[in-house]
Structure 1
Amino acid sequence: MQSTSAIVLALLAYTSSVQATPLRRSEPALSLTQQLFIADTAVDRFALLPDDKQFLFDFNQKQANPGAGGEIIAANRKAFPALVGTGAGMAVGRLNACGMNTLHVHPRSAELQIVVQGRIVTEMVPENGVNDANGKRRVIRNEVGPFQMTPFYQGSVHTQFNPDCDPAVFIAAFPAEDFGTGQIADETFALSDDVIAATFGQSIAGADIDKVRQAIPINVALGVDECLKKCGIPKNH
């Protein structure tokens, strides 16, 4: 009996020790941006950025998947963790001859854009109810030259186009660390064929929807016939 009692007590002690030890699950390591987010104080955030070079962002780098007409290099809090806590972001756009940054929106931020090289034609469509003198939806269009600026409001649909044969460069400032970008054409043609057909009526035949979808560039695309002819740039068929 004493031997049995000793065994029972030993088993109970072992079970108790196992239950008291929490199970350890392998969790993915937090990114630097995540660590900066949950730091208790701003002082602690600086401790997570010990290298002065972590406060330097190079817009001379190349975009991972540039479009045919240029590239956009964005500094948001993922690409540049030192932005955490600043409430700000920035992008530099380089548009080649006849290059266009296709219609897009920034879902979480307004944008202030200044041209530093060449000229850019911009168009912006604000929200519903903003109409012109004729009662039609207003499109705000400007030709922006070097060191001139134009705003794009949060959620507004807008685009930029380089009408010349020389490259144009702009700088965009955002009051947000994660401003985001949504290309209108990509998002529209990602919807089901029925929705697209209902949206565009008879202007797009159902059999052609996949062709149109595949022809939509991801970001910056060549466009505008007059500029292509002027600069001697052949169309892609």
Structure 2
Amino acid sequence: MKFTTSVIAAILATSTYATPLAARDDAAPSITITASYAAAATSDSSTSSAASPKDTLLTQKLLLADTAADRYALLPSNTQFQFDFNQPKGLGGKGGDLFAANRKTFPALVGTSSGMAVGFLGPCGFNTPHIHPRATELQIVVEGKVITEMLPENGVFNVPGNATSGRRVIRTELSAFQMTPFYQGSVHTQFNPSCDNATFIASFNSEDFGTGQVADELFAFDDMVVQAAFGQAIDGADVDKFRKNIPASIAKGVSECLTTCGIAARR
């Protein structure tokens, strides 16, 4: 399946999406689960336990340590070298969850230039187009099937050197223990086309890889900017309506999958 403009528009109009658990009234205060890569709109990390001022101070000390040996002295407990991805997963009734290990959520990563995330996509789960500004991602599927698409950058066309041939979209269909790269700064997305859960593991060559959900960021601009970006495709009066329907996290998508799996679309 190719994520065409019409498909994306349908997703924006009909999708349901995962709300960061920490923002819910019934959420446990010690747990933050965001459904996008290390970043919801208000956070740059997913954590197994909320970062405390003490943890922040530890990260700062690790960043300022003179040597690697000094860092070990700041991490005296063996448990500080263990990160647990076994968190409660809310796959029922929403698109999925993602847990990220970065230098804020896992201070032992300071100095490693490495990070990692584990993503859980529910049936028809759709991780909306996003970028990682400071890292290349290597993603391997360990359960189920995941369809990915990536737009590398300007100037990459279906026919090299021929802009009229259209932008090249690199598409993969990954089964268990198959992998694809998402290059730093590239726009990419993942979709679970089945009625079963899918799980992937993502590694990053940065301990602070960051994330930006493309549609969510675009619609955060002033209305005139949004209108200019879309030309006549969106009337100015409709900008707010579209903005409310932008999924900022892993979203249920694509009507064919929803129908096949008997999942009702949000109206």
- The TM-score with structure 2 as length reference comes to 0.75
Distance 1:50 1:79 in 2: 17
Give the match's secondary structure for 2:266: coil
Match of residue 155 from structure 1: 185
The alignment status of 1:116 with 2:142, answered yes or no, reads yes
| 1:61 CA displacement | 2.1
Relative to structure 1, the CA distance from residue 106 to residue 88 in structure 2 (aligned partners, 3 Å threshold; closer, same or farther) is: same
Contact 1:67 1:218 in 2 (8 A): no
1:178 to 202, 208, 228: 208
Residues 162-204 of structure 1, C-alpha deviations (whole Å, 9 max, x = no match):
0000000000000110000000011000000000011111211
User: Could you say if the C-alpha distance between residues 224 and 203 of structure 1 is closer, same or farther in structure 2, counting changes exceeding 3 Å?
Assistant: same
How many residue pairs get aligned? The number is 209
Aligned residue among 96, 101, 105 for 2:122: 96
5+ residue gaps, structure 1: 1-27
Is the 8 Å Cα contact of residues 62 and 73 (structure 1) preserved in structure 2? no
Instruction: For 1:82, give the aligned amino acid.
Output: A
The answer to which structure has the higher helix fraction is 1
Whether 2:163 is the aligned partner of 1:137: answer: no
Runs of 4+ in 1 over 3 A off after TM superposition: none
Q: TM-score when scaled to structure 1? A: 0.85
Looking at structure 1, the residues matched to 212 and 106 of structure 2 have their Cα atoms a distance apart, in angstroms, of 20
With over 3 angstroms needed to count, the CA separation of the structure-2 counterparts of 1:115 and 1:87, relative to structure 1, is: same
Give the conservation status (yes or no) of the 8 Å contact 1:113–1:172.
yes
The offset of 1:68, in angstroms, is 2.5
Amino acid at match of 1:186: D
In structure 1, the partner of 2:33 is: none
Q: CA-to-partner distance for each residue in 1:38-74, whole Å, 9 max, x for gaps?
A: 011111100110110000001112589x993001111
5+ residue gaps, structure 2: 1-52
Q: Contact conserved, 1:67 with 1:219, CA < 8 A, in 2?
A: no
- Residue 63 to residue 190, structure 1, CA distance change in 2 (3 Å): farther
Larger Rg, first or second structure (1 or 2): 1
Residue 97 of structure 2 aligns with an amino acid whose one-letter code is: E
Q: 1:67 to 1:105 in 2, by over 3 A?
A: farther
Deviation at 1:117, TM superposition (A): 0.1
Partner of 2:68: 42
Higher relative contact order (CA 8 A, sep 6+): 2
2:224 aligned with 1:198, yes or no? Answer: no
Cα distance between partner residues in 1 of 2:111 and 2:88: 26
Question: Contact 1:72 / 1:93 at 8 angstroms: preserved in 2?
Answer: yes
Give the corresponding residue for 2:97: 71
Root mean square deviation, CA, Å: 1.8
